[in-house]
Structure 1
């Protein structure tokens, strides 16, 4: 099924286009592939980046929109990514970067397109585990900036994933969230035991 990519806010896209047009921003970025790109580059596949916080032993974890990530391509090749952040003054360019999550995201998106159900792709960051997942949201018509999990949502851990969590395997949200919660929630010492 095709993925239903939510539209990025126009001001977020403008900040990325402005940064791509700035020789200083590109030259100072830690992205050799972007600095040495031959031909035009363009931002594609905007994905909202949500952060998983509010993890507690009880209840559903909360998410919040942290920004939008754009894949920077030259021809049909992904070179880097650009991230934007919402500030009190509106959308702002944050940074360019490269690394394993770019190829891993592309791989997960290609696999998601083969699934029998349509999804809205998002990214979900789990800072406490240094983990990023492709969040396949079951409500394709939802606002990409709105949080909240649906029972039919899938989470696809991107490589590199934390030890013991399989990369590129779609997990039902009800299966993976408890694992993440256990790993992030600090253990409560028993009374009388050393802390």
Structure 2
């Protein structure tokens, strides 16, 4: 079924478009594919980016905090880079252009998600402590992307490269993968304390 991509806040999109129209921002970006792209550049596929926050109580669902929006920057038929925005006290601002293996992995995961039998709202879920990024498929396809929170019926698709022991592009139920992520993020027990 089709994914229902939430609309990005207009200021987030406008900040990326302003950066794309700035020769300085594009030429100074650390993205060779963007600097050498020919033809018009377009921002598309907006995805809200959330940070994974482990459950405070064992057995509870984790929380997610919206931190930005990521847009694919298309140059002709290919995705050349990502344009990222962050939220500040003054609103949405352009953060950076980036490229790397996550671009192709996000595209692959989105195509994977399109083949699922239910409709989902796609988000990106960052797990900074594990250097991990996942496509988070929220079961409430019409939710407000800025306030969406994990639901037991949500799915996670870890992107490549994934941390050791987590297979990229395998669809997981959130309730299956979130406890394992929370456990990996937990501080180690103090020396001499019962484990």
Structure 2 length normalisation: TM-score?
0.95
Note closer, same or farther for the CA distance 1:186–1:54 as it changes in structure 2 (3 Å cut): same
Query: Retained in 1: the 8 A contact 2:68–2:85?
Result: yes
**SS state at 1:148 partner:** coil
Query: Superposed, which structure 2 residues align to 1:31-46 within 5 Å?
Result: 31-46=31-46
Q: Distance in 2 between matches of 1:10 and 1:190?
A: 51
Moved more, 58-67 or 132-141: 58-67
After the TM superposition, which residues 87-106 of structure 1 pair with which residues of structure 2 at under 5 Å, given as runs? 87-106=88-107
Q: How does 1:114-133 map to 2 (within 5 A)?
A: 114-133=115-134
Aligned to 1:18, the other structure's residue is in SS state helix
1:191 Cα deviation after fit: 4.1
Q: Report the Cα distance in structure 2 between the residues aligned to 1:186 and 1:39, rounded to whole angstroms.
A: 49
Kindly report the root-mean-square deviation, in angstroms, between the aligned alpha carbons of the 2 structures.
1.5
Shift of 1:150: 1.2
Provide the rounded CA distance (Å) in 2 between the counterparts of 1:132 and 1:41.
Answer: 25
Q: Matches of 2:55 and 2:164 in 1, distance apart? A: 20
Shift of 1:187: 2.4
Secondary structure at the residue paired with 2:25?
Answer: helix
1:64/1:182 Cα in 2 relative to 1: closer, same or farther (>3 Å)? same
Query: What's the TM-score once normalised by structure 1's chain length?
Result: 0.95
Give the Å deviation of 1:139: 0.3
The residue aligned with 1:25 is 25
Task: Please list, as runs of the form range in 1=range in 2, the aligned pairs for 1:19-168 lying within 5 A after superposition.
Answer: 19-56=19-56, 58=58, 59-168=60-169
In structure 2, distance between residues paired with 1:140 and 1:147? 10
Counterparts of 1:26 and 1:3, CA distance in 2: 30
What CA deviation, in whole Å up to 9, does each residue of 1:60-106 have, x standing for no partner?
22210000000000122100000000111111000000000000000
Moved more, 181-190 or 55-64: 55-64
Q: How many residues align?
A: 194
Unaligned runs of 5+ in 2: none
